[in-house]
A and B are shown apart, each in its own frame.
Chain A
């Protein structure tokens, strides 16, 4: 069974204090790894898809990287508007579902 573990569960950052979120996964053949942002009471917002080890993608203050066992979401010089829960999900070959972790809840303090 595909499994995703995210750490830390919760993180408080000062504005401008860079940090990284971890997503460890086990999957029977990775088709894709996805990062989403979710605000309270709302649906997940798509951020990135990573397909193979060594791949990196960036969007504003966020950068996602992928290895064969884990992915990192780096947040550089965060702002209060980056406060959200960040969800990691994997999709396996031969499978149409996304398996999600519990998320990393990030609070950025001004």
Chain B
């Protein structure tokens, strides 16, 4: 069974540019969450989507946005990139929301902003 897949695996962007990261959840999972992990820190929550609706938003600026598609895949968009946006971006999928179900993570997208 395929796990959570993220693309691309690595990305280098210049300050001020825009980036789109993609995530496909585990088959049957309807909830997708995005996390940012800076080197040496634990993951920080950015967004959660369930059934194409935003169900949670972390303390990130409006430059960060996301959406979920009818097939439950998701995109994370970041505008006007800053050096501080360099991080490992993680996507996690879970069966549902509203209950304490396990979240399974993808391998992440390593974003470097230069």
Contacts and interface: CB of A to CB of B under 8 A. Distances in A.
Q: Which of A31, A43, A103 has the most CB of B within 10 A?
A: A43
Interface stretch (B12-20, B66-74, B77-85, B100-108): B100-108
A26 to B, nearest CB: 15
B90 A46 contact: no
B45 to A, nearest CB: 4
A43 B33 CA distance: 13
Interface residues of A, number: 25
B33 A96 contact: yes
Interface in B81-114: 88, 90, 92, 97-100, 102-108, 110
Interface of A: 4, 31-32, 34, 36, 41-46, 49, 51, 87, 89, 91, 95-103
Contacts of A42: 107-108
A89 B100 CA distance: 12
A100 B45 CA distance: 9
A52 B31 CA distance: 24
